[in-house]
Chains A and B, each alone.
Chain A
Amino acid sequence: MTIRRICLTLFILFLLIPIYWLVMMSFKSNTEITSQLTFFPKDWTLVHYHDIFNSGKWTGSFLHSLSYVALNVAITLPLAIPAAYAFSRYDFLADKHLFFWFLTNLMAPPAVFLIPYFQLYHSIHLFDTVYAVALAHTLFNLPLAVWILEGFMSGVPREIDETAYLDGYSLPRFFIKIFLPLIGSGIGVAAFFCFMFSWIELLLANTLTSSNAMPFATMMSSAFTASGTDWGILAAAGTLTLIPGVLVIWFVRHRIASGFALGRV
């Protein structure tokens, strides 16, 4: 029992120490960062956070990132829920092929689509807007949401649908009044995963924007300049990107695994 606990503690330390180093670095001055190694900041400073919050470019890019993530979730879920219900409850023409095609888009490397995406969003005049990134991220988030929701929906016995229809419920009324509340946690998990994969994705977000909708991650690369790297501001920016994840993770902590298992555990 104790050996188990020691191993687990060691692994947790291995996960936490790099993050600790990042967070501590964000509170050090740049001279302290480059001149000595300190486990704890000698002089706590908020100067890097102050610089970020007083720069319209930094705060703007943070808002861009948050808005395309939120938009993506708002587009994905209303489309994924009916599709997942169809896959879970109905036998229809080419259903298995369609499901596999959805899956292939989850597997597709976004790098393959870089150039066509760039041209496509240019031609529909959405380039350099948060809408472009939100739409592009549906490439992998919509199939993922369908897959997770289908898993959760298949866990609800079909007898519930049949009883409701016998009681005279129509499909839309049954869906809203009875079915959606039953799979509420599944919808929460799907929303969490869409949030997460949109938040951590970089390649498409970077390609589809320039100055007007620049994502936070792209903004961070501007801290690497020819005159040297501003490690302090990078560490502070990196720390800030952890916050949305930490905030949402607490709500789904017991269901993270079932989400990764696509609703099948």
Chain B
Amino acid sequence: MNNNRFADNRAWFLVLPATLLVAFSSLIPFIAVVNYSLQIVFNMNTHSFVGWSTFHDALTNEEFRGALGRQVLFTAIVLAIEVPLGIGVALTMPRSGRAVGPIMVVLALPLLVPWNVVGLIWQIFARGDIGLFGAFVNNVLHINYNYATGSVSAWFTVVLMSVWHWTSLIALLCYAGLCAIPGAFYQAARIDGASRWAVFRFIELPKLRGVLTIAILLRFVYSFKVYAEPLTVTGGGPGSSTTFMTEMLTNTAIGQFAYGKAAAYGLLYFLIILLISYVFYIVLTRVGTSEGDQ
């Protein structure tokens, strides 16, 4: 939001319809979730108020802490791979020419695949019997690889799938940021005899700060909400080795019908995402006002 705007409270009429619909979609369910989180729900008509004990249970529960730990590890691994790789891909892309359009389409393609189909693609690609990749690793590299029985294989598959699915997002954003750098900056660097690394470190990286913040924020949130892709491929297994937060939550709510517990888990989950997103938001709005943005 820019700073010199008309002061006029009648603008509320413009945001009112959107606010009402978002309130309907989020505020009413949110109140219901808070209500459930304080109760043990036996069925839709029988429940008893238990107060904060569900939250206390959640924090000491092995299931919750296990899923949260795996979730944090997964998010850390995929961010550590996808962010540098995405920047790297953006740097290799041509800035102009006829190839740009098709390259953009190919890069964006994985982002437009429904999430269960991403899982399907990797399932049939990584299976040892019918999958090209699984057969290659097992028969050509002679590495014992089966994502259904080995938890290392399962993690490798889930991480590789995430890299396939989402690296393009970071690459596309960084590419747009790189294209916005005026040519004069590069000319000045050439006159000064700057190395390729110096150009990246002192010209490109600072100019990418704005887009990178958005990219990392979106990647953090989406990796933290990951659900259908690992579920389709590994079913959360072997055991519960690839069961992440959303799957643990739906198992608790729909599998075990433990609404109260699921609601408490869900609120904590939401709170964690919100806290980290708030930090990002503060950084984001700062970036928006500094000269480094455009």
Binding site for B on A (CB under 8 A): 4-5, 7-8, 11-12, 14-19, 21-22, 25, 33-34, 37, 39, 75, 79-80, 82-83, 85-93, 95-96, 98-117, 119-120, 135-136, 138-139, 142-143, 146, 150, 154, 158, 196, 199-203, 216-217, 220-221, 231, 234-235, 238, 241-242, 245-246, 249-250, 253-254, 256-258, 260-262, 264-265
Contact = CB atoms under 8 A, between A and B. Distances in A.
A114 B105 CA distance: 34
Contacts of B277: 103-104, 107
B50 interface: no
18 contacts: A12-B103, A15-B109, A18-B121, A19-B110, A80-B18, A90-B5, A90-B8, A99-B1, A108-B273, A109-B270, A235-B120, A242-B113, A246-B105, A249-B108, A260-B172, A261-B210, A261-B211, A265-B177
Contact of A253 (B29, B104, B273): B104
Nearest to B259: A115
B71 to A, nearest CB: 11
Contacts of B14: 82-83, 85-86, 90
Interface stretch (B56-64, B141-149, B186-194, B245-253): B245-253
Given A249-B105, A253-B108, A217 B117 contact: yes
A8 B253 contact: no
B25 A138 contact: yes
Contacts of A96: 1
A110 B247 CA distance: 11
Contacts of A138: 21-22, 25
A245 B109 contact: yes
Contacts of B114: 199-200, 202, 216-217, 241
Contact of B12 (A17, A25, A93, A246): A93
| Interface footprint category on B | 35 or more
Contact of A139 (B6, B17, B22): B22
3 smallest CB-CB distances across A and B, nearest first, come from A245-B112, A257-B176, A112-B266
Contacts of B80: none
Contact of A119 (B32, B88, B121): B32
B260 to A, nearest CB: 10
Interface string B162-180: 0010011100110111001
Contacts of B224: 109
A209 B1 CA distance: 38
B253 to A, nearest CB: 6
B245 A217 contact: no
A142 B177 CA distance: 25
B15 A116 contact: no
B105 A199 contact: no
A30 to B, nearest CB: 10
A107 B273 contact: yes
Looking at B1, B89, B164, B225, the one whose CB has the most chain A CB atoms below 10 A away is B1
Interface string B1-29: 11011111111101101110110111011
Nearest to A37: B135
A112 B269 contact: yes
Interface string B267-281: 101100110011001
